[in-house]
Amino acid sequence: MYLLSIPGRVLFCLVLSVFFVSCVTKKSRYLPKDTPLALEQENLPFLESGFVYVDTVAPLVKVDLMYAGNENFVGRPLAGYRGKRAILRIEAAEALRLVSEDLATSGYTLLIKDAYRPHTAMLDVAAWGKDISDQKMKALYYPHIDKKKIFEDKYIRDISEHSRGVAVDVTLLDSLTGKELDMGGRVDLLDPSSATDSKLVSDQVFRNRQLLKNTFRKHGFANYAPEWWHYRLINEPEKTLYFYFPLWDGMIPRQKN
């Protein structure tokens, strides 16, 4: 067996170290769960491979990203949200187009409140969760739950399929009036009544939620039972990957090979 000399070994280790650092610090790579990471990341010039802006694939879908503004349970924009356009994996966006077209035949429009979510946003939420004194949005988003219970009861988890680009938080609009349907509470209302099949809501609200669930299920999405608004693409690519590139509107889509 050939053995490197001591200087050769040192050089080999240095090269290997540089290669490793360059790989894990690339902005386009996925983030292992426990990797330390600053909340603010540089914008990418190109969309991550396999991702698209939803409006380029599903033009019927409306977008109002709640974590890009102040109307969310934290009460401010989350780390990584710098634009107004929703982003998803291509497969999820194409399936969402089918959902939107199906709903349109019944007079409804899909409104996205969240889609791809940088993993840095989840780290931001975790930091917010440690500050028990910050409860300015409690009355609107978790009126019946102690803040510390939000994490203990898994209303919010450390990682999210949103960071894989295959999940959406949505609600329904009346296509004629543009008004939101009564879904029994706002998106991200952390409350037992937000469960999709909850009996704590009116019959009309229950029917609205079932319409949403049945249409998404028809096109390959699974609902997260505690949240009527949350849907995940079942046959997703690269299920173990969590991405952390910032969400902004100026990225150039990559050309298909």
Distance of alpha carbon 194 from alpha carbon 104, whole angstroms: 24
Q: Which of 40, 227, 236, 238 is catalytic?
A: 227
> DSSP assignment, residue 90?
H
**Residue 227 a catalytic site member:** yes
The backbone torsions φ and ψ at residue 51, rounded to the nearest 5 degrees and listed phi first, read -110, 155
Residue 243, judged by CB atoms within 10 A of its CB (0-12, 13-18, 19+), counts as buried
What is the enclosing helix (H) or strand (E) of 121?
helix 119-130
Question: 């249409």: which residue's tokens?
Answer: 215
Distance of alpha carbon 42 from alpha carbon 36, whole angstroms: 16
- How many CB atoms are closer than 10 A to CB 112? 25
Q: Which of the residues are catalytic?
A: 227
